[in-house]
Amino acid sequence: MSPRSDLTGFAALLGEGFRAQIDLLTQVIQDAHYPSLGTYKERLLAQTIRNYLPRSVEVGTGFVLFPHEDTSPPGGQVHHDPLNQSAFSVSRQCDILVFDSSAYPPVFRDGDFVVLRPESVRAVIEVKGSLSITETRKLVAAFVDFGQKWRTTQAYYRSHHQKRTQAPALSAMAWSIARRTDGKPVTNPSKIRECIVQLYAKAVAKEHLDDFPLLGHLMIYGEAEISLIYGNDEPTVEPMHLGWHAADGRFHRFDSNGNIYRDKDRTIASLLASLHIATGWNTFNRFFSYTDEARDDRLLPYEHRGLTWCWHDLKRVQRLGPQDET
């Protein structure tokens, strides 16, 4: 038998190499032109995603165009053809879009900049430099806006016998938690998770969850993974609950003596694994996508590990996009 391949080490180095590129540019320009550094992070993450996804999907930036009922069409309602013409709303600009152009042509394209039909979108990823509670609120507001427009379009499709489409995966990558001038963090992953739950609970009634895409993964580089999950305290009991769970953002590995330790970043590898699912189950293989060595992440304590339910007593959970079960 050939020597055991170290895919965990490979995935960890992928994340570390990513950070090295960012640090290299930071050493040169510092914060003299922060917008350029932010743009570089988005471009670097987009290129990494592009390199590790199948060629059946593309990666770009831009907008999603959402058709909906036209309440005041040209020529009036009598002569209006809702099967061929409708009104449209536009999403906020999305930092990274993963989309299928082999089956669905873009509405507009100029290089990597695209305007897309909803059915072509497989994933939306927002990129944040440093994350605070204020930035978390902005992030969730953007995804709630996307979800509302998506749900409105799916209802419009249904009313006019157009096939509904699977909701895309919504993710975010933050490079760090914001810090005060004295270097202390302004928040932590536990508070960020609670903030996400509070904002979604206020914005979305559980009766409206059908066809409403939710934030599936918020990665804080080298620190935490906050993920959407559904389940129950008793896995065999119905109905189900839906909420967010925070886990360590670093790999848990074993040394030569079998002792577990906290290693390098896992968030980049986890983001890629979630995109493998989002782009189709035929692209997902857990032996290549899930590379953590520890079966149970509770073997190594993590102070911000925890679960907060957002919606309870759900008789069904469907069309919410890729997610995990407890």
Query: What is the structure's pLDDT at 161?
Result: 84
pLDDT band at 307 (very low <50, low <70, confident <90, very high): very high
Residue 318: per-residue pLDDT? 46
At residue 77, the pLDDT reads: 66
| pLDDT score of 323 | 41
- Residue 115 is predicted with a pLDDT of 98
By mean pLDDT, which of 14-18, 60-64, 107-111 is the weakest?
14-18
For the segment 41-46, the average pLDDT, to the nearest whole number, is 88
232 pLDDT tier (thresholds 50, 70, 90): confident
Q: How confident is the model at residue 295 (pLDDT cuts 50, 70, 90)?
A: confident
Q: Alpha-carbon distance 180 to 130, whole Å? A: 11
**Residue whose structure tokens are 């039909």:** 117
Q: Mean pLDDT in the chain?
A: 86
Structure confidence at residue 236 (pLDDT) = 59
Residue range 37-61: average pLDDT? 89
**What are the two backbone dihedrals, phi and then psi, of residue 178, each rounded to the nearest 5 degrees?**
-60, 150
Query: What is the C-alpha separation between 286 and 289, in angstroms, rounded?
Result: 5
> Cα separation of 168 and 150, whole Å?
10
Instruction: Please give the share of the chain, as a percent, with pLDDT higher than 70.
Output: 85
Task: Supply the pLDDT for residue 321.
Answer: 42
Once rounded to an integer, what is the mean pLDDT over residues 168-181? 94
**SS3 of residue 129 by DSSP:** strand
pLDDT band of residue 226 (cuts 50, 70, 90) is very high
Mean predicted confidence (pLDDT) in 123-140? 96
Q: What is the pLDDT of residues 196-222, one digit of tens each?
A: 999 999 999 998 998 999 999 999 999
Whether residue 177 is predicted with pLDDT greater than 90 in this model: the reply is yes
Residue of 10, 49, 23 lying closest to 271 (CA atoms): 49
The amino acid that residue 322 corresponds to is P
pLDDT digits (tens, 9 = 90+) for 56-97: 899 999 999 999 887 777 766 666 666 667 788 999 999 999
Helix (H, G, I), strand (E, B) or coil at 324: strand
Amino acid 3: pLDDT = 56
Q: Is the peptide bond before 239 cis (omega within 30 degrees of 0)?
A: yes
Write the single-letter amino acid at 138: K
> How much is the pLDDT for 11?
81
